[in-house]
Amino acid sequence: MTAPQPDYLTDHDYPPVFHPEQAPGWLAAVLVALGHPAPARGHWCELGCGEGFSAALLAAANPDMRFTGIDLNPRHIATARARAKAAGLDNLEFHCADLRDPQGLAGPFDMIVTHGVLSWVGPEVRTALAAFIATHLAPGGVAAVQYMSEPGGAAFRAFHAVFRACAGAPDPVAEGLARLAALREAKAGFFQMHAHAAQTLDNLLTQPPGYIRHEYMNATFQPLAFGEVAGLFSDRGLVWRGSATPLDNIDAASIPEQAARSLAGVRDTVLRETMKDLARNQALRYDLFTRPKAPAGDEAHLALLRGVVWALLPGAPPPAALTFTTPIGPVEADPRLYAPLLTRLAQGPARFGDIETIPPFAGRPGLLNQALQMALWAGIAHPLGRAPRAPGAARLNRLLLAEAAQGARVPALCAAPLGSGRAVPPAQMADLGAGGGPQALRALFGLDRG
């Protein structure tokens, strides 16, 4: 391992997090929705894996695949390896490495994911990350790259400046939060001009200090324009395909109507995405890149869609009460669409092709495709996983429930039927750990199995 870069924090651990957009089934479903074949279920890799929480959940839920996590922090890697060993996950490995010197990191990888790292490192490491992906991405593979974006993310440079200025305080995170809260209470101009800043501050007040340190106290805090990131990857032979966030692929639900009209006729990808980011005041992007290949034709696209099996998630709201909270405000779900969709899924998992025969979707697969993508984004429905048995899932969940009982932060449990994880609130986590909780959740997490 090479020496860590001096401007990236390694003296504080990043807390466990789970991002469902990184799951193989999620990535496959979004790519198929966009008209591209799903990547092979082979080898998945995360760059900047932290303590390896997401990698462990996904490895347990997808025992037919291999998983690799890479991080600069040796303490992160030690924690990740210990959890994987305790759960008996033999399809998961971790490497402590600097992406500027990735010797010994073997690919190719069918899926490469990274969350936030691009915005927390300088140009040299940013270039190395893109080069690593371009070199190690398998043919037919996909890279999912999340980063702070312009213009919405630029507002939070001010947060970064406040936290960095508090670095000498005994508790710089608490000091920074107090200073920002006082400014908001005083109706400072920044909070008046940037309405989303108040909500972001509310979110930070619920987060552990390690999260805030890594988000806002690194030397580098760089929201990036889409054109910069797209250029970084196109220079290395990779093509932008869309967003891993399904909502961002549906203009009608994510862009104000008048702004959407201004996009009519704009064909250049960089210009169109930049205009969309302005319309949404986009603060985060989760871009998908692949090697160049023509998208599937209409018949091939339909065949891809019809092969996906969808399931209703526990706790899904009734169609009459369904409202999507989007960047452009609340969007009421049309019960004429979602009542038959959710009623069918409540009867059991169903293939796209089977749901397609139900009015109002008959002869309108595009409408069903959009409805299912919105349901995926909202946490209402999810593609079924591909592994029929995942014994490591129950082992890992019992381990995580024990950690939670000792006061550890456990943001999600392994949901093997989905090939993914599922966020669990602390109170519900305690119920599950004590042998209670809803039966649907216990079944999802394999907690009633030997």
Which pLDDT tens digit goes with each residue over 147-182? 999 999 988 999 999 999 999 999 999 999 999 999
Domain boundaries, the chain: 152-216
pLDDT tier at 10 (50, 70, 90 boundaries)? low
In whole angstroms, give the CA distance from residue 153 to residue 118. Answer: 13
In this prediction, residue 9 carries a pLDDT of: 61
pLDDT above 70 for 3:
no
In whole angstroms, give the CA distance from residue 387 to residue 198. Answer: 42
DSSP state of 232: H
The partner residues of 111 in beta bridges, in order of sequence, read 44, 142
Question: How many beta carbons lie within 10 A of that of residue 81, not counting itself?
Answer: 18
In this prediction, residue 449 carries a pLDDT of: 60
- Region 35-50: what's the mean pLDDT? 96
The tens digit of pLDDT for each residue in 260-312 reads 899 988 999 999 999 999 999 999 999 999 999 888 899 999 999 999 999 99
Contact 297, 305 (CB under 8 A): no
The tens digit of pLDDT for each residue in 102-122 reads 777 878 999 999 999 999 999
pLDDT tier at 59 (50, 70, 90 boundaries)? very high
Q: Which of 105, 107, 136, 132 is nearest to 117 (CA)?
A: 132
pLDDT tier at 319 (50, 70, 90 boundaries)? confident
In whole angstroms, give the CA distance from residue 148 to residue 223. Answer: 5
pTM of the model: 0.94
In whole angstroms, give the CA distance from residue 142 to residue 48. Answer: 17
In this prediction, residue 338 carries a pLDDT of: 93
Question: How many beta carbons lie within 10 A of that of residue 244, not counting itself?
Answer: 26
The backbone torsions φ and ψ at residue 418, rounded to the nearest 5 degrees and listed phi first, read: -95, -10
CA 199 distance to own-chain centroid: 20
pLDDT tier at 1 (50, 70, 90 boundaries)? very low
Rg (CA), the chain: 22
